[in-house]
């Protein structure tokens, strides 16, 4: 553990004093003024690896959502419109036919023209045409239904369609809303409550179209039954829509800040998610906090997990993502818009994925449509090194001798937190002159047991403006916040099936059982081996003894030791031959019995009806319209023989006569014989 060379001049007392000062700072008891510690502009060494210079665009999440809507929604709407157009034409044709049914003399006269009018008596022709019979007429109620449906179709098809996204936002959230075509923004005091109302209004407008659609489907096939279908059509609301129809209801988006949603706006979005209405809630989170909030507010905000609260609603789609992880963000939007559930998107607006890498805002997606278990629903893929506590990154630095050296660093929550101006004083750089094994890298420190940790201090590597590396010690409060983030990350891991303790316990149990089974088997084999060995030795000794005393091998049977194997050395021939004979005698002789029942090879029947024309009770058809025997007692043997002879597929086998008193049986049996073979 002697990682750092000791300063030659530092006395034990001086080192103890320095350590006391550092501990005081760590535990918040002062000590910051001690020369062992200094504040200087320094950033965690890992940050240089992930932070670009550009700042994040607050409109990025809605731009992405709109882009996804552009690729998904128009095709769906067009397919639906095509469906409506087809039905509209069908209904229009129905009315056109109805209108032509009674043309009237005037229309007939016009249709035959001036030349024809002299040749054809239009009134007489109308009398003939009007007397036609046999087709169904459109009554008044039906015509009204059809005309209403046509009017709704016309409004929907000619209306230009609703916008792709209707965004509801607060005054503060205005900066997150881009001015783009296809997006309509509305100001609301509480966007989530307003979204609920907006959705209900939009859904009701769409349900009117669905009612017309369902009516039209029934009308074009002339199967509308007012008594049965009127109540059904009347009860159509958004909850009765099919998944496909529900995905066509205009998309409503409530945009709000994550801090507001975890505070005063919480009842609104919670009710929205619980309602099941497919509304999108966009919670925008900032990776840094306002320093004016005070440290307590900053630390407590880290403990509120908006995404996890969303998962608590169980049936809503929830994702936590970052604008710096565009593919993850887009895929989540795609799934949410393709589904029919309420969706909560917690999006961190940041230029680089440091909050993701430091597990401050780990990526996850909870999709109830993926299955019934946590393992299927929760997906943490997309996070760097998802199987580790902290992602590991490599920093190349120059060692004192000018030699390049690679330093493996864990990106922890502290690396992210120190980016916040409010938290800059939560870590101080330790003088390079102080070297001690008491300073343990933070990731390792968090793995220590409580007793060891109490004797150590966490540290992390920071870089100053000259890019020189120094160690810094975070306060206990910040360390505890880091520990809390780790605990949350481990919960996510376990729920997503990574390092699940249940699995590990089950594996251990299975290993134990396998080990135990193997040991038992090995013990059994060893015992058997030992037994065989001892028997073989006994046998050999016995043979040797017999040979020595001059007894012949043929006499060994009687002299065999009690431990000898049960199999005799030689078996007398006579008993061996007698045994099978006795066995044969016990088994009754097999007789070739042929069924006396009539039967039909049904699979070969060509459905020619010949047999059924003879006796439809004796011969019946199965589900495939192929013949089988129905009631054998319903006919005579003569009918069976006749059918067998007529059957072109030769698949009827008459068997033996059931009635021994039937006339002419001898001849019939002789005729049946070829079909019974």
Partner 1 sequence: MFGLKSDPSTELPERYFSLEDYEGGVARWCPGCGDLGVLTAVQRICRAEQLPPEKVVCVSGIGCSSRFPHYVGTYGFHGLHGRPLPVACGIKSRRPDLTVWVATGDGDCCSIGAGHWIHALRYNMDMVVMLFDNSVYGLTKKQTSPTTPQGMSTNTHPSGAWLPPLDPLTAMLGMTNVSFLAQTVDWNPAHLHATLAAAYRHKGLGFVRILQRCPTYSAGVFEDLQRDPSRLLMLTGPRGIQVEPAIANMFPNKREHDPSDLGTARAICEAHDPVPIGLLFQDESRPCYDAFTNHGLGMPTADKVAALEKELDRFTV
Report d(CA 167, CA 65) in Å as an integer.
11
Q: How far is the CB of 480 from partner 1 (least distance, A)?
A: 38
599 binds partner 1 (CB under 8 A): no
| Residue nearer to partner 1 on the CB measure, 443 or 605 | 605
| Residue nearer to partner 1 on the CB measure, 70 or 612 | 612
Angle (CA) 418-414-2 rounded to 5° is 115
> Which of 239, 264, 385, 597 is in the footprint of partner 1 by CB under 8 A?
239
Report d(CA 209, CA 217) in Å as an integer.
12
Q: How far is the CB of 89 from partner 1 (least distance, A)?
A: 5
Torsion 514-515-517-518 (CA) sign: positive
276 binds partner 1 (CB under 8 A): yes
| Residue nearer to partner 1 on the CB measure, 183 or 342 | 342
Binding mask 386-425 for partner 1 (x = CB under 8 A): ----------------------------------------
DSSP codes, 580-643: HHHHHHHSPPP------S-EE-GGG-----HHHHH-TTTEEE-TTS-EEE--GGGS-HHHHHHH
Note the Cα 580 to chain centre separation in Å.
64
| Residue nearer to partner 1 on the CB measure, 88 or 416 | 88
78 binds partner 1 (CB under 8 A): no
235 binds partner 1 (CB under 8 A): yes
| Residue nearer to partner 1 on the CB measure, 45 or 272 | 272
Q: How far is the CB of 154 from partner 1 (least distance, A)?
A: 12
Q: What is the 3-state secondary structure (H, E, C) of 472-518?
A: EEECHHHHHHHHHHHHHHHHHHHHCCCCCHHHHHHHHHHHHHHHHHH
Q: How far is the CB of 640 from partner 1 (least distance, A)?
A: 17
| Residue nearer to partner 1 on the CB measure, 42 or 91 | 91
Q: List CB contacts of 247: < 8 A, sequence separation 6 or more.
A: 76, 278, 337, 338, 339, 340
Give the position of tokens 């209403």: 148
φ and ψ of 578, to 5 deg: -70, -35
Binding mask 115-154 for partner 1 (x = CB under 8 A): ----------------------------------------
| Residue nearer to partner 1 on the CB measure, 457 or 605 | 605
> Which of 10, 274, 397, 546 is in the footprint of partner 1 by CB under 8 A?
274
Phi and psi based region of residue 254 (left: phi greater than 0; alpha: psi -120 to 50; beta: remaining) = beta
Closest residue by Cα to residue 330 from 64, 521, 106: 64
Pairing between strand 165-169 and 183-187?
parallel
| Residue nearer to partner 1 on the CB measure, 310 or 657 | 310
Give the position of tokens 């019934």: 372
Q: How far is the CB of 556 from partner 1 (least distance, A)?
A: 56
Q: How far is the CB of 138 from partner 1 (least distance, A)?
A: 17
| Residue nearer to partner 1 on the CB measure, 10 or 233 | 233
> Which of 133, 403, 625, 677 is in the footprint of partner 1 by CB under 8 A?
625
293 binds partner 1 (CB under 8 A): no
Q: How far is the CB of 645 from partner 1 (least distance, A)?
A: 11
Q: How far is the CB of 602 from partner 1 (least distance, A)?
A: 9
| Residue nearer to partner 1 on the CB measure, 371 or 568 | 371
Q: List CB contacts of 26: < 8 A, sequence separation 6 or more.
A: 457, 458, 473, 474, 475, 476, 479
Which range touches partner 1 (CB under 8 A), out of 92-100, 121-129, 400-408, 482-490?
A: 92-100
| Residue nearer to partner 1 on the CB measure, 540 or 604 | 604
Asked if 381 contacts 332 with a C-beta cutoff of 8 angstroms, the reply is: no
C-alpha Rg value of the chain to the nearest Å: 45
Q: Three-state SS for 455? A: coil
634 binds partner 1 (CB under 8 A): no
Q: Which two tokens stand for residue 502?
A: 């249940």
> Which of 532, 608, 670, 673 is in the footprint of partner 1 by CB under 8 A?
608
Give the position of tokens 């906090």: 289
> Which of 100, 123, 613, 633 is in the footprint of partner 1 by CB under 8 A?
613
Centre a 10 Å sphere on the Cβ of residue 578 and count the other Cβ atoms it contains. Answer: 11
Q: Three-state SS for 188? A: coil
243 binds partner 1 (CB under 8 A): yes
Footprint of partner 1 on 168-227 (CB under 8 A): 214, 217-218
Largest CA-CA distance found in the chain, in angstroms, rounded: 144
Asked if 671 contacts 652 with a C-beta cutoff of 8 angstroms, the reply is: no
623 binds partner 1 (CB under 8 A): yes
Asked if 91 contacts 142 with a C-beta cutoff of 8 angstroms, the reply is: no
Q: How far is the CB of 276 from partner 1 (least distance, A)?
A: 2
> Which of 624, 631, 659, 663 is in the footprint of partner 1 by CB under 8 A?
624
Closest residue by Cα to residue 304 from 343, 257, 350, 351: 257
Closest residue by Cα to residue 251 from 313, 320, 184, 179: 184
Size of site (CB under 8 A) for partner 1: 42
89 binds partner 1 (CB under 8 A): yes
606 binds partner 1 (CB under 8 A): yes
Q: How far is the CB of 50 from partner 1 (least distance, A)?
A: 39
Q: How far is the CB of 607 from partner 1 (least distance, A)?
A: 4
Q: List CB contacts of 292: < 8 A, sequence separation 6 or more.
A: none
Q: How far is the CB of 601 from partner 1 (least distance, A)?
A: 10
Q: How far is the CB of 648 from partner 1 (least distance, A)?
A: 4
| Residue nearer to partner 1 on the CB measure, 126 or 610 | 610
Pairing between strand 619-621 and 599-600?
unpaired
Report d(CA 9, CA 292) in Å as an integer.
45
471 binds partner 1 (CB under 8 A): no
Q: How far is the CB of 611 from partner 1 (least distance, A)?
A: 10
Binding mask 318-347 for partner 1 (x = CB under 8 A): ----------------------x-x-----
Q: List CB contacts of 532: < 8 A, sequence separation 6 or more.
A: none
For the chain, the 3-state helix, strand and coil shares in percent, each to the nearest 5, are: 50, 15, 35
Q: Is 189 exposed, middle or buried (0-12, 13-18, 19+ CB in 10 A)?
A: exposed
584 binds partner 1 (CB under 8 A): no
Q: Applying CB under 8 A, which residues contact partner 1? A: 82, 85-86, 88-89, 92-93, 96, 214, 217-218, 232, 235, 239-243, 246, 274-277, 315, 340, 342, 603-610, 613, 623-626, 646, 648-649
């Amino acid at each position: 553990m002697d990682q750092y060379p000791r300063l030659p001049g530092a006395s034990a007392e001086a080192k103890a004093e320095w350590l006391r000062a550092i501990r005081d700072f760590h535990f918040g008891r002062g000590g910051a003024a001690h020369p062992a510690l200094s504040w200087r502009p320094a950033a965690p060494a890992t940050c240089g690896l992930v932070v670009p210079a550009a700042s994040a665009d607050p409109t990025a999440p809605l731009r992405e959502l709109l882009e996804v809507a552009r690729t998904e929604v128009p095709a769906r709407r067009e397919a639906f419109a095509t469906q409506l157009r087809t039905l509209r034409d069908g209904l229009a044709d129905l009315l056109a036919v109805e209108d032509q049914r009674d043309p009237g003399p005037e229309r007939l006269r016009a249709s035959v023209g001036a030349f024809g009018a002299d040749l054809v008596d239009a009134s007489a022709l109308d009398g003939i045409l009007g007397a036609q019979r046999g087709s169904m007429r459109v009554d008044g109620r039906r015509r009204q239904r059809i005309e209403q449906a046509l009017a709704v179709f016309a409004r929907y098809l000619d209306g230009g369609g609703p916008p792709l996204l209707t965004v509801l936002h607060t005054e503060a959230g205005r900066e997150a809303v881009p001015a783009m075509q296809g997006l309509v923004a509305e100001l609301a005091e509480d966007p989530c409550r307003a979204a609920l109302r907006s959705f209900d209004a939009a859904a009701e407008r769409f349900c009117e179209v669905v009612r017309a659609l369902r009516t039209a489907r029934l009308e074009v096939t002339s199967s509308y039954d007012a008594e049965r279908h009127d109540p059904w059509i009347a009860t159509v609301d958004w909850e009765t829509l099919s998944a496909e129809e529900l995905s066509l209801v205009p998309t409503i988006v409530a945009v709000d800040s994550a801090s507001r949603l975890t505070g005063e706006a919480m009842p609104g979005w919670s009710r929205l998610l619980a309602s099941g209405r497919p509304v999108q809630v966009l919670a925008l989170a900032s990776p840094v906090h306002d320093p004016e909030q005070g440290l307590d507010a900053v630390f407590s905000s880290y403990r509120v997990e908006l995404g996890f609260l969303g998962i608590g609603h169980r049936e809503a789609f929830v994702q936590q993502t970052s604008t710096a992880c565009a593919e993850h963000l887009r895929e989540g939007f795609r799934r949410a818009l393709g589904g029919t559930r309420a969706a909560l998107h917690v999006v961190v607006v940041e230029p680089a994925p440091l909050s993701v890498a430091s597990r401050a805002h780990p990526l996850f997606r909870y999709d109830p449509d993926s299955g019934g278990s946590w393992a299927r629903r929760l997906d943490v893929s997309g996070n760097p090194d998802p199987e580790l506590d902290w992602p590991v990154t490599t920093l190349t630095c120059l060692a004192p001798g000018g030699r390049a050296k690679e330093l493996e660093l864990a990106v922890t929550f502290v690396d992210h937190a120190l980016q916040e101006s409010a938290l800059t004083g939560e870590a101080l750089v330790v003088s390079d002159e102080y070297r001690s094994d008491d300073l343990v890298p933070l990731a390792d420190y968090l793995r220590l047991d409580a007793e060891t940790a109490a004797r150590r201090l966490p540290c992390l590597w920071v870089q100053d403006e000259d890019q020189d590396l120094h160690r810094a010690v975070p306060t206990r409060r910040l360390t505890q916040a880091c520990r809390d983030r780790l605990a949350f990350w481990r919960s996510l891991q376990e729920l997503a099936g990574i390092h699940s303790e249940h699995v590990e316990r089950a594996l251990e149990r299975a290993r134990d059982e396998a080990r135990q089974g193997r040991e038992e088997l090995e013990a059994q084999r060893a015992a058997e081996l030992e037994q065989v060995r001892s028997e073989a030795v006994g046998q050999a000794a016995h043979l040797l003894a017999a040979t020595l005393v001059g007894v012949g091998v043929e006499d060994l049977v009687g002299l065999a030791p009690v431990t000898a194997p049960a199999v005799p050395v030689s078996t007398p021939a006579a008993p061996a031959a007698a045994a099978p004979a006795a066995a044969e005698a016990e088994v009754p002789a097999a007789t070739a019995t042929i069924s006396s029942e009539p039967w039909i090879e049904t699979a070969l029947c060509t459905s020619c009806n010949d047999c059924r024309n003879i006796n439809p009770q004796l011969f019946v058809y199965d589900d495939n319209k192929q013949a089988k025997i129905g009631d054998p007692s319903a006919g005579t043997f003569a009918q069976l023989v006749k059918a067998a002879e007529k059957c072109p597929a030769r698949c009827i086998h008459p068997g033996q006569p059931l009635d021994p008193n039937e006339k002419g049986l001898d001849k019939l049996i002789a005729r049946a014989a070829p079909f019974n073979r």
